[in-house]
A and B are shown apart, each in its own frame.
Chain A
Amino acid sequence: MDLRYTDEQIAFRGEVRGWLNANVPKKPLPSFDTAEGFEAHREWERTLAQGNWGMVTWPEDFGGRGCDLLEWLIFEEEYYRAGAPLRVNQNGIFLLGPTLMEYGTEAQKARFIPAMAKGDEIWAQGWSEPNAGSDMAAIRCRAVRDGDDFVITGQKIWSTRAVYADWVFGLFRTDPDSERHHGLSKILVPLDAKGITVRPIPQLNGLPGFAEIFFDEVRVPAFNLLGGEGEGWRIAMATAGFERGLMLRSPARFQQAAKRLVELYRSRSNEVLDPTIEDAVLRCYMDAEAYALSTYHTASLLCAGGSIGPEASCNKIFWSELDLLIHETAMKLLGARAEIEPQTAQEFADLGTWLDGFMFSQSGPIYAGTNEIQRNIIAERMLGMPRK
């Protein structure tokens, strides 16, 4: 155990910090759930790609830097410290990218990864359906093989970023006689294909962060099948492991939020406060640190060639509940004015983006597998409790 950064790691941090200082937009970008904000965030992805900072863990051939997980953590720490924009292509770079590298053919990698890395193609995800939410194996949206094509008919819902994105990846039922997790395949679909209708769904903040996608005999080439036909479930599960879970929400995000919360708390410490606030602020700071330490511990294990077990299922619950507590506590600190949606520069200065973050934090315990499902997974796979 040696909790000191190496000289190389310190130099890497310096390089990241220097580049971000010079390149992070001075003014925050508009939300990527608006047309204008989406394009602004796409431009930012292009800027990142030009500096080879788009996805530092990717091989250099794909525009990355071949970094290990510890360097990735350092990059993320600097990224959140600098207040850089959220990643509009997170579905692509964090979820699909690693899957493509593992299961894609060389031709598929060449076709999709560079465009993803450069921000030219932004991805939406298409897992859920109206009757397949937590029970994802109930997927019915079908893709029928017709010569060199698949013909897709059905519906997806809660597709994050689908309103403005260019492509969607998802699980489709390629074997019409199959049930549950058999007979599913992972297929990549351009959202401008004939027969696709995207219906935006406004989220709690009024912006269309996700959408329904209707597929009416949408024809895509079989080239777009990722992995084997009928292998979709296995691929989805294999890439639902640690790296994906970790990269989805890196600890730096919460450490930065906890730091802002402590600053907000310090600035109000002369006021009469709800006595529970002090305890909550401490807990937010401690839990954000704990999430970072746990991630370093796991990343070190993986870097040393180790593997991780089902304890990784604890991640999702821990960070989503931490995010709720951070924002609930900020709302308490803002008091009655927490209700105000900032419009003016003065209001932004006083109230920050806490309300928006508070609303978003409501979704954390729901998306990427509800926390109730996560608790079942922990109980059954980590603790070994009986299924029936």
Chain B
Amino acid sequence: MDFTFTEDQQMFAEAARSVLTAEVTADRIRERWSTASGLDLSLLQQIQELGLLGMLVPEALGGLGLGQADFVMMGQTCGYVACPEPIAEQVMVTAPLLVDVLDRGLGHGAVQTALDALQGGALVATGHPINPFINFAEQAEWFLLGHGEGLYLLPAAEVTIKPCKSVDPSRRIAEVSFEASDAHCLAKGESGATLWRSTLNRGALSTAAQLVGLAQAMIDQSVRYTTDREQFGRPVGVNQAVKHLLADVAVQIEYAKPVIYRAAYTAAISPTRADLAVSHAKVVAARAALLAARHCIQAHGAMGYTWECDLQIWVKRAWALAREWGDEGFHKNRIHEWLLRPNALLGPDLTFGRGSITDSVAA
């Protein structure tokens, strides 16, 4: 039993953090809002050159061969800097799905092509049926799309894209439709359902990690603001009412993080217990981020309600991501269904299942 990150994991997270915090700033995020693609291609190139896009891809397939628990801190950083590029989704969702397909010997040559394209820096979009739209669809070269339980891989030329406007100017969302034909089908029936199910968990986990990063960034900005801003001759942050707004968020973040770490670990080793662990992570991360959004707007006073204040970048991302990859209703219902089972493993001795992997998968 060791619930800590290894030194390697921490060094890796630190390396990703130093690149992302240096390259993704509020000013540069605003610059993206008025460009056609909304992407910072030089950032994507840097991430690609570091090999991060293939972080979870096995070494034999050209990746770094790391696991989900290795990614989770980098996911938090993507949220902390409010990174507009769908890096977390490429790394944590799309690449592992393509690898899963290859592992099962499904599909056709295009799968390897798409995986190579992704690792080369091109966007490969995943359109899970739970999400009504895809972020940066217009910039994607390949699409993994769902129809019923089927999983399809199509080049951009074969899909129809209908853009919508997100509340978050950093997001370029669009509805994507396509003709489900056998030529593009990778998996159907039970096999497709299984692939989509683990994809949903990876998406929710990746989103949960970003949400706590967003929440932490909102807190940090609010601490700075309430320290600098003076009223009645002293910083507004000396007032307990303001302190307690932010302390409440800090508590939620503190207790969301280990839940996310457990989910990352569990999803990798125990698919049957993953649903519960991941839904728990998504619910508490969304709760922390939405509370942060509300309380941090309040802590900024009227400034918090302006377009000028950078806080909006994080607030709006939280509003969007809280409902992506399953909203609160979806994830709470997964937990509820489990809790009502007469054989649910509940109680103080069962936090990690029955104590060994074989038992813990028999959730």
Interface residues in chain A, defined as those with a beta carbon under 8 Å from any beta carbon in chain B: 1-6, 9-10, 13, 70, 76-78, 80-81, 251-253, 255-256, 258-259, 262, 266, 269, 278-279, 281-282, 285-287, 289-294, 296-297, 299-301, 303-304, 306, 311, 314, 317-318, 372, 374-376, 378-380, 382-388
CB proximity of B104 to chain A, nearest CB, Å: 27
Give per-residue flags for B325-363: 1 if the beta carbon is below 8 A from chain A beta carbons, else 0.
000000010011001101010111101100111000000
Q: Which residues of A contact B206 (CB under 8 A)?
A: none
Residue of B nearest to A10 (CB): B355
Q: Which residue of A lies closest to B67 (CB)?
A: A1
Q: Are B348 and A1 closer than 8 Å at their CB atoms?
A: no
Residues of A within 8 A of B344 (CB): 262
The answer to whether A300 touches B3 (Cβ under 8 A) is yes
Decide if B227 is an interface residue (CB 8 Å cutoff): yes
* Chain A residue at smallest Cβ distance from B6: A1
Name A's interface SS. Answer: helix
Q: Which of B69, B237, B254, B349 contacts A294 (CB 8 A)?
A: B254
Alpha-carbon distance A303/B3, docked complex (angstroms): 10
Size band of the interface chain B makes with A: 35 or more
At the interface, yes or no: B129 with Cβ under 8 Å from chain A?
A: no
- Sample 28 A-B pairs with CB under 8 A, ordered by A number: A1-B3, A3-B265, A4-B356, A9-B355, A78-B348, A81-B347, A253-B348, A259-B348, A266-B340, A266-B342, A269-B340, A285-B339, A286-B283, A286-B284, A287-B255, A293-B258, A299-B3, A311-B250, A314-B254, A372-B240, A375-B247, A376-B240, A376-B244, A379-B246, A384-B227, A385-B227, A386-B226, A386-B235
- B223: CB under 8 A from chain A? yes
Instruction: Give per-residue flags for B298-314: 1 if the beta carbon is below 8 A from chain A beta carbons, else 0.
Output: 00000000000000000
Q: Are B348 and A80 in contact (CB under 8 A)?
A: yes
Q: Which of B261, B284, B347 has the most CB of A within 10 A?
A: B347
In the complex formed, the residue of A with least CB distance to B355 is A5
* CB of B15 closer than 8 Å to a CB of A: no
Decide: A376 near B352, CB < 8 A? Known: A3-B262, A282-B336, A289-B259: no
Nearest chain A CB to B203 CB, angstrom units: 20
Interface flags for B240-266 (1: CB within 8 Å of A; 0: not) read 101110111011001111110110011
Interface residue from B3, B250, B266, B332 paired with A296 (Cβ < 8 Å): B3
A76, A281, A386: which contacts B339 (Cβ < 8 A)?
A: A281
Chain A, residue nearest B342 (CB): A266
Cβ of B178 under 8 Å from chain A: no
A68, B32: Cα distance in complex, Å: 52
User: Is the C-beta of B238 less than 8 angstroms from some C-beta in chain A?
Assistant: yes
Task: Enumerate chain B residues within 8 angstroms of A70, measured Cβ to Cβ.
Answer: 1
Cα(A386)–Cα(B243), bound, Å? 9
Which residues in window 288-302 of B have CB below 8 A to A? none
Q: Is the CB of A255 within 8 A of B247?
A: no
B202 at interface (Cβ–Cβ under 8 A)?
Answer: no
Residues of chain B lying within 8 A (CB to CB) of residue A291: 255
State the Cβ distance, B299 to closest chain A Cβ, in Å: 10
Determine if A285 and B255 form an interchain contact, defined as CB atoms under 8 angstroms apart: no
Chain A residues closer than 8 Å to B219, beta-carbon distance: 383
- A276 and B244 CA atoms in complex are apart in Å by 25
A379 with B356: CB separation less than 8 A: no
B219 (CB) vs chain A CBs: closest residue: A383
**B317 proximal to A (CB < 8 A):** no
Instruction: Give the nearest-CB partner of A251 in chain B.
Output: B348
Query: Is B30 an interface position by the 8 A CB rule?
Result: no
Chain A min CB distance to B138 (Å): 38
**Cα separation A383 to B246 with both chains bound (whole Å):** 8
CB distance from B334 to the nearest CB of A (A): 10
| A28 vs B1: C-alpha distance when bound (angstroms) | 33
Given A4-B357, A289-B280, A294-B254; A255-B1 close (CB under 8 Å):
no
Q: Is the CB of A375 within 8 A of B243?
A: yes
Q: Is B234's CB within 8 Å of the partner chain A?
A: yes
Select which of A304, A314, A318 is within 8 A of B2 by beta carbon: A304
Q: In the complex the two chains form, is A384's CB within 8 Å of B223's CB?
A: yes
Contact A278 B336 (CB under 8 A): yes
Interchain CB contact under 8 A, A289 and B351: yes
B347 touching A4, Cβ below 8 Å: no
Residues of B within 8 A of A387 (CB): 238
Name the B residues within 8 Å of A266 (CB-CB).
Answer: 340, 342
- The CA-CA distance from A372 to B244 in the complex, in Å, is 8
B255–A290 contact, CB under 8 A? Answer: yes
Known: A3-B352, A285-B339, A386-B227. Contact between A9 and B258, CB under 8 A? no
Most B CB contacts (10 A, CB to CB) among A269, A290, A303 go to A290
Q: A210 → chain B, closest Cβ, in Å?
A: 27
Rounded to whole angstroms, the CA-CA distance of A149 and B4 in the bound complex is 49
Q: What residue in chain A is nearest B5 (Cβ atoms)?
A: A1
What's the nearest-Cβ distance from chain A to residue B226, in Å? Answer: 7
The 7 nearest A-B residue pairs measured at CB:
A379-B243, A252-B348, A375-B247, A255-B348, A293-B258, A77-B348, A378-B247
Do A375 and B346 form a contact, CB below 8 Å, given A385-B223, A385-B237? no
A286 and B335 contacting across the interface, CB-CB below 8 Å: yes
**Interface contact B243-A282, CB-CB below 8 Å:** no
B227 / chain A contacts, CB cutoff of 8 Å: 384-386
Q: What residues of chain A lie closer than 8 Å to B247, measured between beta carbons?
A: 317, 374-376, 378-379, 383
Residue of A nearest to B268 (CB): A1
Question: Closest residue of chain B to A322, judged by CB?
Answer: B255
Inter-chain contacts of B237 with A (CB < 8 A): 379, 385-386
B243 and A385: CB pair below 8 A?
yes
In the complex, the chain A residue whose C-beta lies closest to that of B280 is A286
B222 smallest CB distance to A (angstroms): 9
Q: Specify which of A259, A297, A378 is in contact with B347 (CB 8 Å cutoff).
A: A259
Contact: B243 with A380, CB < 8 Å? yes
By a CB distance below 8 angstroms, the chain A residues around B259 are 286, 289-290, 293
Complex-state Cα separation, A5 to B9, whole angstroms: 21
Q: How far is the CB of A367 from chain B (nearest CB, A)?
A: 18
Judge whether B349 and A13 touch: CB under 8 Å. Answer: yes
Least Cβ distance of A254 to chain B in Å?
A: 8
How far, in angstroms, from A384 to B250 measured CA to CA in the complex? 12
A6 and B346 contacting across the interface, CB-CB below 8 Å: no
Most interface-central of A5, A80, A299 (chain B CB within 10 A): A5
Give the interface centre of B223, B243, B246 by most chain A CB atoms within 10 Å. B243
Among B69, B238, B339, the residue within 8 A (CB) of A282 is B339
The residue of chain B having its C-beta at the shortest distance from the C-beta of A269 within the complex is B340
CA distance in complex: A273, B303 (Å):
42
CB neighbours of B335 from chain A (8 A): 282, 285-286
CB <8 Å contact, B348 and A81:
yes
